[in-house]
Structure 1
């Protein structure tokens, strides 16, 4: 049995915190300064965490290694199990051509590029974030915008700015499920709290997008559509995450926001005519794409292009029915991680070694079921579907390794006491720590490129600090994820993805300068919101 120690270095919390921060500093420097590949940086940081755990905190080597293996296992199931199956569904739609059908369907909604930016970068990007995440929305929507005539730099900026409000619920709420595991808090409660923070951000993102496309004129002329889109998304995200299903929050919100925009725009569409191009904001759509948009796809193919997303919603809704959920829950198995025995500094038994295998209630398994139905809907052969699955695994091979290593790092730090040391020291900020809480999440995502990784690194630290500062652990853990979504637009990984997608390799700095101002403005707003929610003013918003 290993018992954690808060101040192993000279019985000083400050000195102990400096040592405990070494694994995180290693990861941040290797990723942000040295520009080392993510999996290599994560592996190096994991090695540092193991050394600190053994030599500084006195954790037995076997226990430290076992903690890392549990983290890696949790990284694969349920985290990567969700991502792999979600991207498999997306890959099948691409390989059958139905993704292009969907893209053209969106393009025909309006010939005003300001509206197109809202629909594609924000609403459709949110749907891609819900199903796949991990950079997919930025890559796909930026290419779609270029096909519609946006200049590469502007397309990249729009895609990155839009990829904010939906991120916490991305890949079927993978960041929140991870947060629940590392903090021992209910994922449903955390999702409900995030659903009372990010929807406020969603109100403003469409307005910012039209401003980026066409400045003040765009804001003046299209603010009603942008506002309706933001309100529809915000209300749907809040309602779904709080009352229906946390994993479905972005799926429902994206579709509701698209429907709201279509309802406003359709009656005013001109039967023909040139696209409305904001002054100098874009070129004309590519001739090939313009021709395909002018000739509508067969209605049955359009319906088939939308059906995979409707199928996902249907499967998840059915699985939330109490009788069905209870029946599926019978297959859940809870085990103690072999050989891992931990006590907190206070002497209590830690729940970290408890590993839950929810075979059928896992969002990943339900996504797999939706994928099998999608295979039938898209008339894809078994061989074709298996080939798509293989392609998905090949595409994600480095991401799979990175996520497993980052989760292993987080579990080693949590099990050895490094995280609780940092949290206890930072709690010295008192109530003001609520203001700083989103900044930690932002920093974690900015460096790692993933809200999931940020939550795994800092989630337990936030809860530890909350306990010491007499703040709500649910609020601070959720603020980590909500602040983290804003780091996505400035992370080196996402900037590189955007630059590569639009053909601007080497100009990541230009893109960064265009998005950093909006990112900091949004972050300041999230910090103020978290501080108010920690005070008597908005404490009623905390579940």
Structure 2
């Protein structure tokens, strides 16, 4: 095992074949931390924070012992990842859950639940509306973990068992990911590959729109099994086709940046319109689900681990307690929607470039201490830490929460108490997120991630099948399609040039493959588990979503492969 590398007291140069100079062996060794993480989560069912810390330790040992990265730089890289995780994940998670707890405390979420029942009291339909359509709108505006955090906790409040709500929110957050945060991942992909932004967006839209048609069907299966698909498939298909058509049209003919917004609104509009003329023959309500405790609408209480799940109530007792539910006047209904309308409004106001520039003018920029990295070609690897706190999604959610306290008339002291309880509830989730982002940065900075990507890029013509797998791995590691595109976009282009495949197709495949990796990302798992109150069961959630992730990945890989051949090459712009 050769450990030769260019290092100095002040710097470290990446290399991608440290094991006997062979890329394949190096990629295999580099994958060990990921294998450790997924085995601990999915097979041994460790709690996510312990699995994350163990995987981080494994990556650090490989970085030092195999890649020759100095110990100090390894520790510094982990520290940078942990610091980045605050704004990108933790800050979002805390404030998203705080907003929900405010609505629960004031009783307004109970009103919202009854309002949704007015559209359809069927949980299968509610999951599509909230996790798929509304979640996509949140993904379009905020990205990161916002849609999973908010939609999962809303589903629990509507009576879905916590574990099922977490899984549904994760699976739903797939098709919109590539165009999230006003298509930031596509922008990054265009920048790192040098390919045309509109062309990349067009190809991605022609791939992910197909996945979008399937996702609502998967959601009704998750909620109610085969019976759910049999009874609710028309609504699921209408929502999926509406979303897919909207995403295709906007990404190809209107605006790539607005692809998710257009898709989410199209999906919601066609579904609500369809429900005016059709409803499932047998509605699946919270009262009719066995082994599911009822969510009482009378006394508002904060979210707790046991407040929504378990087997504490029967269907008959639930119906008796729900029977005297009051009729809500228009004012209360408006107030119940207001916190989430505020979230959308605040994000919309913050989107114009002029506003972003003004907010970002207060950002802090500095080179991360003790970290000096150059790439394999000798070019410096950016290690500047940017604390861009004002336009951050978590900050915008905090502002929305402050407005919510005023409009819902929550006393400052009570709001602060709820905030403190929220942070306390998320303690171990925060540890998990810190460790997983630390893992990602150690693997990236040492060259382990590069070894994996370049190892897969040696597949020749078969690379068309494995191209989406690279994007999938990138998002599984980093938790972000944007980061995956930054990490592997150039690798995709280099591999396409070597194999004679379409440069634009392979670059787009990185982003499309990445969207289905989001649901197995440890960051996403931690967020979903935390907001529904099942911390420590991230491994169980992983086991429930990994099959769907792999199945959808196989579909995208098949689409990309066929698009690289005359069979579906006509689909490319």
* Rounded Cα–Cα distance in structure 1 between residues aligned with 2:126 and 2:30: 47
What is the CA-CA distance between 1:427 and the residue it aligns to? 0.9
* Rounded Cα–Cα distance in structure 1 between residues aligned with 2:441 and 2:371: 12
Secondary structure of residue in 1 paired with 2:104: helix
What is the CA-CA distance between 1:78 and the residue it aligns to? 3.1
Instruction: Report the counterpart of residue 36 of structure 1 in structure 2.
Output: 46
Q: Does residue 1:390 correspond to 2:417, yes or no?
A: no
Instruction: Report the counterpart of residue 406 of structure 1 in structure 2.
Output: 436
Instruction: Report the counterpart of residue 372 of structure 2 in structure 1.
Output: 341
Residues 1:217 and 1:59: Cα distance change in structure 2 (over 3 Å): closer
Instruction: Report the counterpart of residue 46 of structure 1 in structure 2.
Output: 56
Residues 1:30 and 1:220: Cα distance change in structure 2 (over 3 Å): closer
Contact 1:82–1:174 (8 Å) recurs in 2: no
Contact 1:423–1:463 (8 Å) recurs in 2: no
- TM-align CA RMSD: 4.7
* Rounded Cα–Cα distance in structure 1 between residues aligned with 2:550 and 2:68: 40
* Rounded Cα–Cα distance in structure 2 between residues aligned with 1:217 and 1:22: 40
Contact 1:304–1:378 (8 Å) recurs in 2: yes
What is the CA-CA distance between 1:136 and the residue it aligns to? 6.4
Instruction: Report the counterpart of residue 9 of structure 1 in structure 2.
Output: 19
Instruction: Report the counterpart of residue 330 of structure 2 in structure 1.
Output: 299
Residues 361-409 of structure 1: CA distance to partner in whole angstroms, max 9, x if unpaired? 2222222222211221211111122122212211221111111111111
* Rounded Cα–Cα distance in structure 1 between residues aligned with 2:189 and 2:57: 20
Secondary structure of residue in 2 paired with 1:391: helix
TM-score in terms of structure 2 length: 0.73
| 2:345 aligned residue (295, 311, 314) | 314
Instruction: Report the counterpart of residue 63 of structure 1 in structure 2.
Output: 73
Q: Does residue 1:483 correspond to 2:497, yes or no?
A: no
Q: Does residue 1:141 correspond to 2:148, yes or no?
A: no
* Rounded Cα–Cα distance in structure 2 between residues aligned with 1:46 and 1:89: 32
Secondary structure of residue in 2 paired with 1:367: helix
Residues 1:48 and 1:214: Cα distance change in structure 2 (over 3 Å): closer
Instruction: Report the counterpart of residue 360 of structure 1 in structure 2.
Output: 390
Q: How many residue pairs get matched?
A: 516
What is the CA-CA distance between 1:198 and the residue it aligns to? 3.8
Contact 1:3–1:342 (8 Å) recurs in 2: yes
What is the CA-CA distance between 1:350 and the residue it aligns to? 1.3
Residues 208-246 of structure 1: CA distance to partner in whole angstroms, max 9, x if unpaired? 555777889976876554333223434556788998897
Contact 2:188–2:486 (8 Å) recurs in 1: no
Instruction: Report the counterpart of residue 108 of structure 2 in structure 1.
Output: 98
Residues 1-42 of structure 1: CA distance to partner in whole angstroms, max 9, x if unpaired? 211122222222222223222222222222223322211122
Residues 1:374 and 1:339: Cα distance change in structure 2 (over 3 Å): same
Which residues of structure 1 form unaligned runs of 5+?
147-151
Note the 1:70-149 alignment, pairs <5 A.
70-111=80-121, 115-116=125-126, 118-119=128-129, 122-123=132-133, 132=146, 137-138=151-152, 141=155, 144-145=158-159
Q: Which moved more, 1:207-216 or 1:172-181?
A: 172-181
What is the CA-CA distance between 1:461 and the residue it aligns to? 5.3
Residues 1:159 and 1:495: Cα distance change in structure 2 (over 3 Å): closer
Secondary structure of residue in 2 paired with 1:379: coil
* Rounded Cα–Cα distance in structure 1 between residues aligned with 2:16 and 2:540: 41
TM-score in terms of structure 1 length: 0.77
Q: Does residue 1:200 correspond to 2:210, yes or no?
A: yes
Secondary structure of residue in 1 paired with 2:327: coil
Residues 1:214 and 1:375: Cα distance change in structure 2 (over 3 Å): closer
Contact 2:49–2:428 (8 Å) recurs in 1: yes
Contact 2:471–2:488 (8 Å) recurs in 1: no
Note the 1:136-535 alignment, pairs <5 A.
137-138=151-152, 141=155, 144-145=158-159, 160=167, 163-167=170-174, 185=192, 197-209=207-219, 224-234=234-244, 257-266=267-276, 276=283, 286-288=318-320, 290-291=322-323, 295-351=326-382, 353-439=383-469, 452=479, 460=487, 463-464=490-491, 466-470=493-497, 471=503, 474-485=507-518, 487=520, 521-532=551-562
* Rounded Cα–Cα distance in structure 2 between residues aligned with 1:65 and 1:175: 34
Instruction: Report the counterpart of residue 20 of structure 1 in structure 2.
Output: 30
Instruction: Report the counterpart of residue 149 of structure 1 in structure 2.
Output: none
* Rounded Cα–Cα distance in structure 1 between residues aligned with 2:247 and 2:441: 30
Residues 1:374 and 1:212: Cα distance change in structure 2 (over 3 Å): closer
* Rounded Cα–Cα distance in structure 2 between residues aligned with 1:298 and 1:320: 34
Residues 1:69 and 1:209: Cα distance change in structure 2 (over 3 Å): closer
Residues 1:458 and 1:257: Cα distance change in structure 2 (over 3 Å): closer
Residues 1:346 and 1:214: Cα distance change in structure 2 (over 3 Å): closer
**Structure with more helix by fraction:** 1
Q: Which moved more, 1:99-108 or 1:523-532?
A: 523-532
* Rounded Cα–Cα distance in structure 2 between residues aligned with 1:478 and 1:376: 40
